[in-house]
């Protein structure tokens, strides 16, 4: 399943996830020179975001991708040499009380969709704050609910009637995609999540 995860992303979002990630990398704006720049990609899956950041960055860039799912990390690790040789991959749970990172050398923390599946998001946000050194940034790419009348029904239809069967056809696993769409529905609204981020001491 992990080997077809990125293909599934393209099919589910009709390629839109590439645009979202590109916007994230533009916002991240890593230095193009040899200045040190460290990134932790939490719930980084196969490392797609970290690889994009590496392409946009200069020689001072290094990344750590962490994810709960070692199969995802294995897919990323096998791809890494072709794109970036300095990524390190670790298996870790975003909800561990203390992330296994030192506090000093780490800078921004993008993640995507890991927060939707985390219980105890407050603790994960506080931990993200702890491992970031002053001047670093926290970026989060996450789904939320759609509240545009009409579009919300279309979104629900696509989420529940199309994505799980598509997941079965492409990866042989409908359950994980059913879980994904359900977890997105249970996740906070964007404004509430922004408030949780602020409450964890982050300032915009």
Ligand X SMILES: C[S@@+](CC[C@H](N)C(=O)[O-])C[C@H]1O[C@@H](n2cnc3c(N)ncnc32)[C@H](O)[C@@H]1O
The site for ligand X (CB under 6 A) is made up of 9, 43-45, 48-49, 67-69, 72, 93-95, 112-114, 117-118
Work out how close the CB of 111 gets to ligand X at its nearest, in angstroms, rounded to a whole number: 6
For residue 193, give the nearest of 133, 118, 134, 130 by alpha carbon.
118
- For residue 54, the minimal CB distance to ligand X (Å) is 14
Closer to ligand X by CB, 108 or 114: give it: 114
Looking at the Cβ atoms of 17 and 62, the one nearer to ligand X is 17
Pull the structure tokens for residue 92: 């870790």
How would you classify residue 120: left for phi > 0, otherwise alpha for psi between -120 and 50, otherwise beta? left
Q: Which residues pair with 38 in a beta bridge?
A: 62
Q: What share of the chain is helix, strand, coil (3-state, %, to 5)?
A: 50, 10, 40
Q: How far apart are CA 110 and CA 2, in angstroms?
A: 20
Which CB sits closer to ligand X, 68 or 146?
68
What does residue 115 show for φ and ψ, rounded to 5 degrees?
-65, -30
Output 69 or 134, the one with its CB closest to ligand X. 69
Instruction: Give the shortest CB-158-to-ligand X separation in angstroms.
Output: 16
Q: Which two tokens stand for residue 196?
A: 């949780």
The residue whose Cβ lies closest to ligand X is 45
**Nearest distance from residue 200's CB to ligand X, in Å?**
16
């Amino acid at each position: 399943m992990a080997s077809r995860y990125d293909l599934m992303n393209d099919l589910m979002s009709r390629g839109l996830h590439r645009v979202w990630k590109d916007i994230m990398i533009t916002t991240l704006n890593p230095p193009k020179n040899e200045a040190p720049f460290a990134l932790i990609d939490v719930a980084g899956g196969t490392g797609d975001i970290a690889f994009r950041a590496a392409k946009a960055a200069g020689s001072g860039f290094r990344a750590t991708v962490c994810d709960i799912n070692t199969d995802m990390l294995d897919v990323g690790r096998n791809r890494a040499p072709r794109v970036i040789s300095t990524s390190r991959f670790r298996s870790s749970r975003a909800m561990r009380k203390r992330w296994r990172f030192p506090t000093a050398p780490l800078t921004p923390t993008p993640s995507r969709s890991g927060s939707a599946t985390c219980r105890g998001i407050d603790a994960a946000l506080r931990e993200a704050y702890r491992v970031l050194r002053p001047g670093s940034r926290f970026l989060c790419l996450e789904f939320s609910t759609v509240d545009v009348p009409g579009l919300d029904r279309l979104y629900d239809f696509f989420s529940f009637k199309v994505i799980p069967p598509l997941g079965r056809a492409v990866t042989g696993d409908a359950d994980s995609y059913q879980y994904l769409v359900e977890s997105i529905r249970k996740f906070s609204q964007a404004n509430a999540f922004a408030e949780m981020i602020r409450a964890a001491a982050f300032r915009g």
